[in-house]
């Protein structure tokens, strides 16, 4: 079920420009706030734009932003975590205090602060999400490295003459990378929600661009007139896709967890 939802969503996003091209700035003032019908599956909004069509393009933007931002966050978090976990000592303490400090701030507020310093654009949104979501990744990587470092097989490698780099690349990173990939995927839904929240607040993408957040924001003015579809439909699309993503990564994690795997192998 989750896999089907996600596959459909990704396929639709990839094929959209070929099959259903969208003129982002086109409006149809003759047909505003039309209820869902065969012509407009999810109705039209206050400017007569097709809600289903724009939700699809909104999802495209949201998933792209989510994925790239999650990647940025993973790179930052991975680097910080790796340095803290391998160098240790004072460097570790300083880095972890920085992480704790940033984690203490509400990250939406911090994200708003970051976009406010830049011009509203795709890049600004991605940076805002990337800079606020790397904390958990850094912690995961660090704690994983710290627990690996004391394992006897690392002692055996050191005793066998392996250099620091060799220990890191041959024994430590291969254990951490699957965890890191998992953390990235788990972060995508968060990043999508964050992007949506920024756009809803009017700090995300330029308003004429179809993004889920922009649409929910636009749609709320129509809610009072009874045109519920222009906000609810993009919202539902977002919930369905991010839930599907979360369910799938959860299943992946169960398979990946070495403890679970070891038990399966007896």
Name which position in 156, 202, 206, 207 contacts another protein (CB under 8 A): 156
**Alpha-carbon span 38 to 235, nearest angstrom:** 21
- Taking the complex as a whole, the smallest distance from the CB of residue 164 to another protein amounts, in Å, to 5
Q: Which is nearer to another protein, 8 or 169 (CB)?
A: 169
Q: d(Cα 74, Cα 83) in Å, to the nearest integer?
A: 14
Candidates 21, 106, 160, 226; binder of another protein (CB under 8 A) is 160
- Helical H segments across the chain, by residue range: 2-19, 51-87, 89-104, 107-117, 122-132, 135-149, 152-159, 164-166, 173-200, 212-223, 229-256, 258-265
Mask for 166-185, x = binds another protein (CB under 8 A): x---xx--xx----------
* Among 155, 202, 221, 239, contact with another protein (rule: CB under 8 A): 155
Per CB under 8 A, which region of 62-70, 131-139, 160-168, 236-244 contacts another protein? 160-168
Is 161 among the residues that bind another protein (CB under 8 A)?
A: yes
152 binds another protein (CB under 8 A): yes
**Using an 8 Å Cβ cutoff, are 76 and 130 in contact?**
yes
Q: How far is the CB of 263 from another protein (least distance, A)?
A: 6
Phi, psi dihedral angles at 99 (to 5 degrees): -60, -45
> In angstroms, rounded to a whole number, what is the distance separating the alpha carbons of residues 266 and 15?
45
149 binds another protein (CB under 8 A): no
Applying CB under 8 A, among 83, 158, 168, 182 the residue interacting with another protein is: 158
Question: Which residues, in sequence order, are CB contacts of 22 under 8 Å at separation 6+?
Answer: 16, 53, 54, 57, 210
**Site residues, another protein (CB under 8 A):** 151-153, 155-164, 166, 170-171, 174-175, 258, 262-266
């Amino acid at each position: 079920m989750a896999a089907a939802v996600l596959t459909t969503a990704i396929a639709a996003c990839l094929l959209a420009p070929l099959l259903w091209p969208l003129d982002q700035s086109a409006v149809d003032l003759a047909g505003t706030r039309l209820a869902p019908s065969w012509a407009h599956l999810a109705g039209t909004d206050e400017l007569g734009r097709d809600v289903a069509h724009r939700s699809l393009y909104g999802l495209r933007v949201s998933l792209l932003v989510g994925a790239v931002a999650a990647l940025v966050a993973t790179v930052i978090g991975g680097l910080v975590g790796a340095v803290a976990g391998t160098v240790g000592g004072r460097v570790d303490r300083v880095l972890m205090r920085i992480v704790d400090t940033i984690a203490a701030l509400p990250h939406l507020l911090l994200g708003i602060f970051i976009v406010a310093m830049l011009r509203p654009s795709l890049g600004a949104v991605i940076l805002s999400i990337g800079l606020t979501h790397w904390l958990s990744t850094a912690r995961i990587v660090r704690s994983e490295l710290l627990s690996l470092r004391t394992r006897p097989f690392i002692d055996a490698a050191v005793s066998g003459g392996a250099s620091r780099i060799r220990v890191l690349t041959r024994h430590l990173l291969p254990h951490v990378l699957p965890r890191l990939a998992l953390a990235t995927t788990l972060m995508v839904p968060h990043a999508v929600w964050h992007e949506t929240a920024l756009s809803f607040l009017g700090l995300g993408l330029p308003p004429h661009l179809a993004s889920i957040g922009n649409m929910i924001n636009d749609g709320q003015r129509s809610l009072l007139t009874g045109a519920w579809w222009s906000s609810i439909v993009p919202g539902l699309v977002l919930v369905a896709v991010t839930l599907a993503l979360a369910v799938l990564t959860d299943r992946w994690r169960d398979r990946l967890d070495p403890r679970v795997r070891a038990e399966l192998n007896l």
